[in-house]
Amino acid sequence: MNYTWLLFDADNTLLDFNAAERVSLISALSEQGIPVDETMISTYHTINSAIWKQIETGEFDRENLNAVRFSRLSEHFGFTCDVDRMGRSFFACMEQQKQLIDGALSLCQTLAERYSLYMITNGTARIQHGRLDGTPLLDCFDGMFISQEVGAEKPSVAFFDAVAGGIPGFSPESALVIGDSLSSDIAGGIAAGIDTCWYNPSKKSCPDHITPTYTVSDYTELRRLLSV
């Protein structure tokens, strides 16, 4: 494999998004006196994931994200809350969450010695910068593309066109997309003519309509694949 550029997804590929989301949700709900249990956390995750799927396909405007996800959560459980305040509290807490998946920093430090690393992430710029800026992980990367700043979401061609245009000398044939999401990372990479590696720690089944170039279940397999 003669790859020059590795295009890494951030959340749940390198960053522990689930941990960050959990801490921030508990903080935002508790601030308004709303008791939190595992069922509520799981339900919020389901609601939020469904909305992000719609954002990926252009069916939903990200500007309404906070209002809708917390409104749906409150309707589901029958509590009253200040949706705007809850959204602000959630964002403020998320900005401070810098949890990495175990082994992510070591992996990227090793890969950066051989490859040029770029981060490609769907998300709110304020939150992603807050979680990454000033961290050792970001030192491993030559650049970062955040969907809100790019003006397009993965898996759109527009997003990957912006990535290609923003990397000096970029060639799709010499790049590899690495991410946990089939619908955004892998589908987007395939549409852009870039090889893909599905990071699949849960060992989920892959649907017939999408075929990653590679699949790995942990960082050890990824290291082996990339010969580091």
| Angstrom distance (rounded) from CA 141 to CA 123 | 18
| Angstrom distance (rounded) from CA 115 to CA 119 | 13
DSSP state of 80: -
Beta strands in the chain (DSSP E): 5-8, 116-121, 143-146, 175-179, 195-199, 214-216
For 204, the 3-state DSSP assignment is coil
Catalytic-role residue among 9, 180, 185, 195: 9
**What distance lies between CA 143 and its chain's CA centroid?**
15
HSE-CB at 174 with a 13 A cutoff on CA atoms is 12
Distances from the Cα of 145 to the Cα of 154, 220, 225, angstroms: 10, 26, 24
Active site residue 133: no
Q: Tell me the catalytic residues.
A: 9
